[in-house]
Amino acid sequence: MLRYGCFEIRTSCRSCGHPIPINGPFRSLLCTACFENLLLSPERIADFLNDFEEDYEGLTEGQGQGGTLMSGSGTFEYGYWRLEPRCSSCKAALPIPDDFGSSSVKCTKCDSVYYVYPVPEWLQKHVPSARFCFTPEPPRGNENTADLKVDEDSLHPVVMACPKCAAALSVSSGSERIMNCSYCNSDVYVPDAVWKRLHPVRKSEEWFVSFEGKNNNQLQASRRLRDQKEEKKELKTWRLCNAPGKATVKFRPILIILGIFLSLVVVISLVLSLAGYNQKHVLSILSSIAPTALVAGVILVPVGFVVRTLFSAKIGRGKGCKQAMTLLAEKHDWKHDGSEYNSSLGYINASYRGRDVEIDPGDDYAIEVDIDDSPFYLNTEPPGYPQDGVQRFTTGDSRFDNLFPIRYATAELAEKIEESIEDAKVVLAPVYWFMDRWQKKLGRLKIDWRNAAVHLTPGHVEIMDAGGKYLSAEDLEPLLEDMIVLAAAIDAVASGREPEFPE
C-alpha cells in the first residue's frame, strides 16, 4: 500500500544569501538573484526523505516535523508531514492518476499544475522505498543545469526606452542585467520592475513523494540479520581451521619434555640391557632413578625458561622496544608516558602527520591511527561490532577472506567488491598493500569507523611466557609509518580518489 509524504524545503545562496526553494528532488538549483548555480549531494535530499520514513509510523495524518539543519553543504529549513498530495496554493486534494508514469495533474479547484513522475534513479538508490513524485515544477532532464520553470510572460520580450537616446530596447529573460544599447553604445541597467517581470521570484511550495515497501532502516536491519547468519556460519569454519593450530602450539613444550623423558628411559633401558642386567634389575634401577629425574625436571625446566627470558633479546620485558620508544619520542618531541617504570614499556599519545596516534607496544593493539569515518570494518579476530550503514562482503580471495572473518564495507563499496574483481582490487588496495608488507608478522589488525589498529606477532615467542606482548624494536617506526599510509589510502578510497603508496 502506498504511503505519502509532503515536503517543503528551502536553502540559501552561498554567494549572495538569497533564499532558494527546493521544490522537488532537484540536485541543481539556480539563484534568481545572482544566477549562481548551487549543486546538492544526493545524500542531502535523500536524508530528508529517509527521516520522514523513519518517523512515519509515529505520525498521524496531517502531523509532521520541521526544523533547521546546518551542515557543510549549507543551511536548510525543512518540514515534512504525513499527507496525501494536495495543491500547495488552495490545499485541495490532487487527483491521483491511475497510471503513475510521467504525467501531470491539475488541481480541481484552482487549476494549478503538478507533475507526476518516478523518483530519479540517484534518489531511489538512497531511498529504496521512494516511488513517485508530485512536484509543482517539472522534472529535470539534466541535473547538471538548473532547468527552471519560467513564467509564460517572461518568454515575451519587454520593450523599454534607453535612458540616454530613448531608443527602443528589447529585454528578454536571456538578457544581462546590464545590457548594451546598440544605438548609442551605452550600458543600460535593467530596472527592478522589468527584471522581476522577466525573472519572477520563486517561492517554497509543497511537493509529495509516494513510498512503498520497506524503508531504508528496515532494509538495513534485514540485511544485517542475513549478514550475521552468514558470519556465524563462516566463523564456525574459521574456528575449526584455526583452533587445531593453536592447540598444537599450546601443548608443544609439554610434548617435547615428555618425549625427551621417554627417550632417556629407553636409552637407559637399552644400556642396562646391553650391560647384562635382566629385565627385573632394569626396572628396579629405573624405579630408583625416576624420582630423582622427575624432581630435576620439575626444577630445571622452569629455571631454563627463566634464564632464557632474562638473557634473550626477544624475550622478557622488551627492553629493546622500550629504548626504541624513547628514541622515537625524542625524534618527534613526543611525551613517552610511563617510561619511568621498569615493568612498563610506556605509551605515546601524539599527533603525527595530521592524525591522532596512540603507540602502546604492550597493548593488544600496539599502534592505533585515527581514521575519520572509515568506509570499512575489518577485523582479523572475532567477534566484531560493525557500525551502521555497512554490509558484509566476500572477495572470493581466500587469502583476504580467511584473514578477515569480520569484513564489512559501505553498501556502495561492498557492491563494487563483489561485482568486479578489478574494482575489488582498487577498493581494497590499501589493505592488500599493508598485508603484502606485514602479513608474515601480523598478529591482529582492525579497521573501523574510528581508527586502524594493529599488533604484530609479539616480540616474545615462547608460549610458556605469560608476560605482556610487545613489538620488536626494529618494527616500531616502520610500522607506524605504514599505518599512516594505510589510513590516508583508506581516506582516499572513501572519497573516491585513487590511493597513493610510497615507491
Residue by residue, DSSP assigns 242-292 as HHHHHHHHHHHHHHHHHHHHHHHHHHHHHHHHHTT--HHHHHHHHHHHHHH
In the prediction, which pLDDT does 34 show?
Answer: 77
Asked whether 216 and 128 are in contact (CB, 8 A), the reply is: yes
* Mean pLDDT lowest among 74-88, 101-115, 136-150, 423-437: 136-150
Average pLDDT, the chain: 81
Stretch (H or E) spanning 21: strand 19-22
Q: Does residue 340 register a pLDDT over 90?
A: no
Q: Does residue 463 register a pLDDT over 70?
A: no
The C-alpha atoms of residue 447 and residue 442 are separated, in whole angstroms, by 14
Residue with cell 625416576: 290
Name which of 141, 135, 132 is nearest 99 in CA terms.
132
The C-alpha atoms of residue 50 and residue 61 are separated, in whole angstroms, by 18
Q: Does residue 10 register a pLDDT over 90?
A: yes
pLDDT interval class at 353 (50, 70, 90): very high
The C-alpha atoms of residue 38 and residue 375 are separated, in whole angstroms, by 27
Q: Which residue has the higher pLDDT, 356 or 33?
A: 356
**pLDDT tens per residue, range 407-417:** 999 988 998 99
**Helix and strand tally (H, E) in the chain?**
11, 22
**Cell, residue 498:** 585513487
**pLDDT tens per residue, range 30-72:** 887 777 888 888 888 999 999 999 999 899 999 999 999 988 7
**Cell, residue 188:** 543600460
Write down the domain spans for the chain: 3-144+204-213, 218-311, 316-494
Q: Does residue 292 register a pLDDT over 70?
A: no
In the prediction, which pLDDT does 103 show?
Answer: 82
Highest mean pLDDT among 283-297, 397-411, 455-469: 397-411
Omega before residue 383 within 30° of 0, cis:
yes
Asked whether 4 and 64 are in contact (CB, 8 A), the reply is: no
**pLDDT tens per residue, range 465-491:** 434 577 888 999 999 999 999 999 999
The C-alpha atoms of residue 426 and residue 49 are separated, in whole angstroms, by 32
pLDDT interval class at 389 (50, 70, 90): confident
How would you write 84-142 as a 3-class SS string? CCECCCCCCECCCCCCCCCEEEECCCCCCEEEEEECCHHHHHHCCCEEEEEECCCCCCC
Asked whether 499 and 492 are in contact (CB, 8 A), the reply is: yes
Q: Which residue has the higher pLDDT, 242 or 368?
A: 368
pLDDT interval class at 300 (50, 70, 90): low
